[in-house]
Amino acid sequence: MISRPVWRLKETQIDQTLKAIQQLHLPFHTQTFHQSQATAYNPDTPTTLETEPSNLSQARQLFAKIPQRNLSECNNLLFEYSRNNCNQEALNLFLELRHLDSPIDGSSLSCILKVCGCLSDQIIGKQIHCHCIKSAYVDDLSVGTSLVDMYMKFSSVDDGKKVFDQMPERNVVSWTSLLAGCTRNGMADQALELFFQMQMEGIKPNPFSFASVLAASAAQGAVEKGIQIHSQVIKYGFESTVFVGNSLINMYSKSGLVRDARLVFGSMEDRDAVSWNVMIAGFVLNGLDFEALELFYRMRLAGVKLTQLIFATVIKLCANLKELGFARQLHCRVLKNGFGSDHNIGTTLMVAYSKCSEMDDAFNLFSTMYGVRNVVSWTAMISGYLQNGGTDQAVDLFCRMSSEGVWPNHFTYSTILTAHPAISPLQIHAQVIKTNFENSPSVGTALLDAYIKLGNTREAATIFELIDGKDIVAWSAMLAGYAQIQDSEGAVKIFCELAKEGVKPNEFTFSSVINACASPMAAVEQGKQFHASSIKSGFSSAICVSSALITMYAKRGSIENAHKVFKRQWERDLVAWNSMISGYAQHGHGKKALEIFEEMQSESLEMDGITFIGVISACTHAGLVDEGRRYFDLMVKDHHINPTMEHYACMVDLYSRAGKLEESMDLIKKMPFPAGATVWRTLLGACRVHLNLELGKLAAENIISLEPQDSAAYVLLSNIYAAAGKWEERAKVRNLMDERKVKKEAGYSWVEVKNKTHSFMARDRSHPLTDRIYIKLDELSTKLKDSGYRPDTNYVLHDVEEEQKESILSQHSERLAIAFGLIATPPGTPIQIVKNLRVCGDCHTVIKLISMIEGREIVVRDSNRFHHFKGGLCSCGDYW
């Protein structure tokens, strides 16, 4: 469990700290910054010590004059080169000694093997290994240890282990070399095993052993083992060793135990610059930016010399806090301290300027780095432009990279893929394949996410299969893609694969799969099962998961469960509030939706356009015309939200359902932009209900001109003609559909029984239980007539006999689905139906009566809303 911060600064202290740092310890001004910025990066300035110290140069000259060199003199000079990191000079000296057949021993070989490791020169390193075997020095303890260390630096872990296993004698240095190598090569779990195995073989760890194994604990997140190792550090008396203390701070910080890291830091009698830096970095890592800032202030008061690492950490802190002035002062201090050519600091400064939206400063700094720019600096600059809306500049930089001989890495590709539509994912995908990054988890995830945003889930799934070592981010991204297209089957399949692979889902994984289960075609029980899994995994209280649950339950007909989740939320985001408002609106509980909205207003929460779409929809379904108009004005005047096409469509729907068609037309004429097909479709539907032929014709003509292949416009217009008895006009509309090859959407109803979804269409006889279904319909028909029901044949828009009209009505898809539900489920069990079209008025009357006759609650989700039928009544109040 992550500890709470040790202390947190008050706001006044923050200001005081900033002033103190700026005034007492970094007395540079913006003017100084601009004057020196041009010389921030001089490509002629060396970044590392590349020349020999003068004393070594003199020693080398004297050594060359000695006619007969003994072993001691050779080794002394070799060791001095190695100690001073003059590795190439050491290697040249060794090769010269071998050429002159000068004497060498185990110490010479041990030293030069270390040099080969530092130079990553595998060819000479292996040649010297062969020489060690040939000259029988391979059994020498120091030589064997150096071989292990060298192979670990080459990342040849198997070779290093092989040498270690063949050593006749091993000491603590040998063991430490092996476990340090495992840690360095990302094998933290093996390093931890080696540490405990070493002690079982009677080898007492030294401070370097503890530093290495603590780094492994930090990398592995094995905080419990790290705590055990801390107790051993105390037992062996190494807690006063500075670099061991630094490793402990690092381990606790990376494990989220900031309090423990702070206690270790506070108990250290001696601290070096690394101690301060690792503690400051620990605060930054855990989001305690102001605590990090105060510690930096204390460090300056303590007179600790600023190092390159500290500059990089504190500049990152400035980026997090968006402290532009402080970042500029640090930039000046960097230049004064001679670190202006440090590439890491330069890139960190660019990121800080980018996060402070100072792209000109970032680009100027980037420009001065000409000649030393690498893929990291290019990627940072591209990312900065994308974060600040400079998509075109980002794409231009990406295209310029290769001309300067810098090739993108996986971070570059992952970043530029977010630049759609300025650059096509297809273009990037081709480069990714060419440069062999297609299997990279980060690039693959970014690619599939880009394709998902284009709606190309099939290509995204293909990329997903190619990713090597899929991490949880890749799995969650693929799940989010299926959720976006409401493919619950695909989402559930991916989630099951994830479980089989042993990947532990996180809150975003659950959020995505639960969102997919909100699809009308998803099995009702699936969402409940994932809710149970999220509780078991401890993620049900995460905001994104609980908000997804509210949406899922509201869309699947269980508004009561949605409200229960909503009430249990300890923190609510805008998605939760909006889902609850729109959920109540869709279920016919307009007043409850408005109560939630008033509660939201009382808490002074920020609202968006979606909030008001839900509120106006609630007024629409409840017939609250005046209230809807008031909320629309509130949105524009008080919340300064510009109405979109959806808002106007809601208002047209509000007026039209109430029969105020003239007000609807007035609103359409006053819109600041031409009415879209959604607005005209809403008006046309109302004209069908209120039999306004003239206005309906106008609406249909507008829809057809905007969307010629939209079948709904033709069908609704033909239905208006049919309801008015104008069969010739109806025939003309139908003929026009045939000429334009416009297909009418077939009406379907679905019902779920025992986790299986059954589909029906009007007069369907394809179901295996068709005979029993129609027997049940006949039985219901008799009971309905006994209850006083008389078919309303006005809803049959065909020019046929009255008796045939009654037959057509009795075989609508929702009635077949209900009949099946009644015979396939135990008495008293609720039945839930999904219909892709609007339920007709006659079916609405019939379902109310069936709910009373059969004693069942029947929930029907049509294309407009939910209808909850119970005891002969409907939640919509016959207003839909």
179-219 residue pLDDT tens: 998 988 888 888 888 899 999 988 999 999 999 899 888 88
The pLDDT, as a whole number, for residue 68 is: 57
**Cα–Cα distance for residue pair 239/255, rounded to 1 Å:** 19
Matching residue, tokens 């070779």: 159
Query: pLDDT-based confidence at 708, cuts 50/70/90?
Result: confident
Are 643 and 654 spatial neighbours (Cβ–Cβ below 8 Å)?
A: no
Do strands 748-753 and 756-761 pair parallel, antiparallel, or not at all (unpaired)? antiparallel
In our burial notation (b when 16+ CB lie closer than 10 A, e otherwise), range 779-805 reads: ebbeebeeeebebbbebbbeeeeeeeb
**Unique residue bearing structure tokens 């050594």:** 63
Q: Is the pLDDT of residue 745 over 60?
A: yes
97 has pLDDT over 80: no
Are residues 874 and 848 in contact, defined by beta-carbon separation less than 8 angstroms? yes
3-state secondary structure of 756: strand
Confidence of residue 441 (pLDDT cuts 50, 70, 90): confident
Average pLDDT score over residue span 556-575: 91
Average pLDDT in the 834-839 region? 89
Model pLDDT, residue 59: 57
**Res. 6 pLDDT band, cuts 50 70 90:** very low
pLDDT of residue 7 exceeding 50, the answer is no
pLDDT tier for residue 36 given thresholds of 50, 70 and 90: very low
**Residue 576 vs residues 566, 570, 579: alpha-carbon distances, Å:** 7, 12, 5
User: Residue 579 burial by CB count (10 A; 0-12/13-18/19+): exposed, middle or buried?
Assistant: buried
Which of 555, 564, 556 minimizes the C-alpha distance to 535? Answer: 564
Q: Where are the alpha helices (DSSP H) in 135-187?
A: 141-153, 157-166, 172-184
The mean pLDDT value for 157-179 works out to 91
How far is Cα 86 from Cα 72, in angstroms, rounded to an integer? 19
Question: Rounded to whole angstroms, what are the CA distances from 329 to 280, 367, 435, 729, 831?
Answer: 19, 20, 40, 79, 69
Q: What's the confidence (pLDDT) of residue 849?
A: 95
Q: Is 717 helix (H, G, I), strand (E, B) or coil?
A: helix
Whole-number Cα distances in Å, 459 to 187, 452, 512: 34, 8, 19
Q: Tokens 């890749």 sit at which residue?
A: 474
Distance CA 275, CA 296 (A): 12
Mean pLDDT over 109-115 rounds to: 89
| Cα–Cα–Cα angle for 500, 504, 510, rounded to 5 degrees | 100
**What are 59-85's pLDDT values in tens digits?**
555 555 555 566 777 787 788 878 887
Is pLDDT above 50 for 33? no
Mean pLDDT, residues 621-643:
92
Q: Is 308 exposed, middle or buried (0-12, 13-18, 19+ CB in 10 A)?
A: middle
Q: One-letter amino acid identity for 31? A: Q
pLDDT at 712: 82
Query: Residue 201 is encoded by which pair of tokens?
Result: 């073989």
Unique residue bearing structure tokens 């979109």: 644
> Per-residue confidence at 49, pLDDT binned at 50, 70, 90?
very low
What Cα–Cα distance (Å) separates residue 690 from each residue in 140, 657, 685, 845? 100, 9, 9, 18
Q: What is the pLDDT of residue 15?
A: 54
pLDDT at residue 798 in the model: 58
Q: CA-CA distance, 582 to 602, in Å (whole number)?
A: 18
Per-residue pLDDT band for 14 (boundaries 50, 70, 90) equals very low
pLDDT of residue 857: 95
pLDDT digits (tens, 9 = 90+) for 447-481: 988 888 888 888 988 989 888 888 888 899 899 88
pLDDT in tens, 709-722: 888 888 888 888 88
- The pLDDT value recorded for residue 767 is 94
Rounded-to-integer distance, Cα 651 and Cα 667, Å = 8
Buried b (16+ CB within 10 A) or exposed e, 447-474: bbbbbbbeebbebbbebbeebeebeebb
Question: Is residue 39 over pLDDT 70?
Answer: no
Q: What is the pTM of this model?
A: 0.68
Contact at 8 Å (CB) between 574 and 611?
Answer: yes
Question: Quick check: 380 and 347 in contact, CB under 8 A?
Answer: yes
Q: DSSP for 592-625, please give it.
A: HHHHHHHHHHHTT----HHHHHHHHHHHHHHT-H
Q: What mean pLDDT is predicted for residues 344-360?
A: 90
Split at pLDDT 50, 70, 90, the class of 777 is very high
Q: Is pLDDT above 80 for 163?
A: yes
Percent of the chain residues topping a pLDDT of 90: 39
Residue 131 has pLDDT above 90, yes or no: no
Query: pLDDT tier at 524 (50, 70, 90 boundaries)?
Result: confident
Q: Which residues contact 398 (CB under 8 A, 6 or more apart)?
A: 382, 408, 412, 416, 419, 423
Which stretch of 119-128, 515-524, 690-699, 788-797 has the lowest confidence by average pLDDT? 788-797
Does the pLDDT at position 786 exceed 60? yes
Percent of the chain surpassing pLDDT 70: 91
In the block, residue with structure tokens 């929460």: 605
In whole numbers, what is the pLDDT of the chain averaged over residues? 85
For the chain, the structural domain boundaries read 59-169, 175-270, 748-874
How confident is the model at residue 513, as a pLDDT? 92
Helix (H) or strand (E) holding 874: strand 873-874
Which secondary-structure segment (H or E) carries 399?
Answer: helix 391-401
The partner residues of 833 in beta bridges, in order of sequence, read 751, 860
Gap between the Cα atoms of 433 and 408, Å rounded: 12
Q: Given this model, what pLDDT does residue 40 score? A: 33
855 has pLDDT over 90: yes
Mean pLDDT along residues 578-591: 91
* Residue 420, pLDDT score: 77
pLDDT at 797: 57
- The CATH topology of domain 175-270 is 1.25.40
Per-residue pLDDT of 133-149, as tens digits, reads: 888 888 889 998 999 98
Q: Which of 77, 73, 92, 152 is nearest to 118 (CA)?
A: 152
Express each pLDDT in 367-390 by its tens digit: 888 767 889 999 999 999 999 989
